[in-house]
């Protein structure tokens, strides 16, 4: 997780809090408020991080888009960037449960009180959802489920994990590097055996796991696990 002093976060104050607890595991959201003086309510940007639904963190700076910081400062907007449960310790259904629970938390007195303590107020009538890759999928899912969201953006989103691209081996290797297919089964087995909730992972090994899933066409099957859609060949409803 990046420190508040990271260059990509320059001009923003960082607040961190828990929006949900699962089996004694706290799921964090990061709140970033522009340091410039502003009178009145601030618009909201809800941003979901990428990572193939299996890795990364809200403040994993390699995935943080600079335009997000620039837009927040330019428009005096508050960024709300939550973590969410990750595959394979969770199912995709549970990830969408986290997205919905986060949406409820955004509209709760808890956020309003937290922002008020820092001299800020949210304009819940002006919300933009955003995300990259897997986060783009979640951004679209949230916007489709809640049409009151003013606007939605998604950078290179994986919108259909039932597509062949996520279910068949790829001839062109991700980043030109081949990953061991056996890593997939071993990682899933180890994670399920540990039986812990995961919502923030930045270890290099987990990034390699994500690349192996993509290379060997296993991400779609992992996404469908536990949804009742295994082996049915159809797209999974996300909202």
Q: How far apart are CA 179 and CA 155, in angstroms?
A: 25
Q: Which of 81, 67, 154, 76 is nearest to 121 (CA)?
A: 76
The angle at the Cα of 23, spanning 44 to 26, to the nearest 5 degrees, equals 35
Written as six digits, the tokens of 93 are 């259904």
- The answer to whether the bond into 93 is cis (omega within 30° of 0) is no
**What residue ranges define each of the domains in the chain, with the CATH number in brackets?**
7-152 (3.40.50.1820), 164-224 (no CATH)
| pLDDT score of 236 | 30
Residues 104-153 have pLDDT tens digits of 999 999 999 999 999 999 999 999 999 999 999 999 999 999 999 999 99
| CA neighbours closer than 13 Å in the CB half-sphere of residue 169 | 6
Mean pLDDT computed over every residue of the chain? 93
**Mean pLDDT, residues 150-161 taken together:** 97
Q: Which of 230, 226, 214, 220 is nearest to 161 (CA)?
A: 220
Active-site residue flag, 133: yes
Helix (H) or strand (E) holding 22: strand 12-22
- Selecting among 92, 129, 133, 200, the annotated active-site residue is 133
CB-CB neighbours of 91 under 10 Å: 17
| pLDDT score of 1 | 57
* Lateral strand order in the sheet of 151-152: 12-22, 25-34, 78-82, 42-48, 122-131, 151-152
Q: What is the pTM of this model?
A: 0.93
């Amino acid at each position: 997780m990046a420190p508040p002093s990271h260059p990509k976060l320059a001009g923003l104050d960082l607040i961190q809090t828990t929006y949900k607890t699962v089996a004694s595991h706290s799921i964090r959201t990061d709140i970033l408020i522009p340091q410039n003086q502003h009178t009145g309510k601030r618009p909201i940007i809800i941003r979901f991080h990428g990572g193939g639904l299996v890795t990364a963190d809200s403040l994993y700076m390699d995935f943080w888009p600079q335009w997000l910081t620039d837009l927040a400062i330019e428009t005096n907007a508050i960024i709300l960037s939550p973590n969410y449960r990750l595959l394979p310790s969770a199912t995709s259904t549970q990830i969408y449960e986290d997205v919905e629970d986060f949406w409820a938390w955004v509209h709760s007195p808890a956020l309003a009180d937290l922002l008020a303590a820092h001299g800020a107020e949210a304009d819940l009538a002006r919300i933009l959802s955003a995300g990259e890759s897997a986060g783009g999928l979640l951004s679209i899912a949230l916007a489709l489920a809640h049409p009151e969201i003013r606007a939605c953006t998604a950078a290179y989103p994986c919108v259909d994990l039932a597509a062949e691209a996520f279910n068949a081996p790829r001839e062109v290797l991700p980043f030109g590097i081949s990953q061991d297919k056996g890593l997939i089964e071993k990682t899933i087995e180890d994670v399920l055996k540990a039986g812990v909730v995961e919502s923030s992972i930045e270890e290099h090994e987990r990034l390699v796991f994500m690349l192996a899933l993509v290379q060997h066409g296993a991400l779609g099957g992992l996404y469908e696990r536990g949804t009742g859609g295994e082996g049915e060949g159809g797209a999974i409803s996300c909202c």
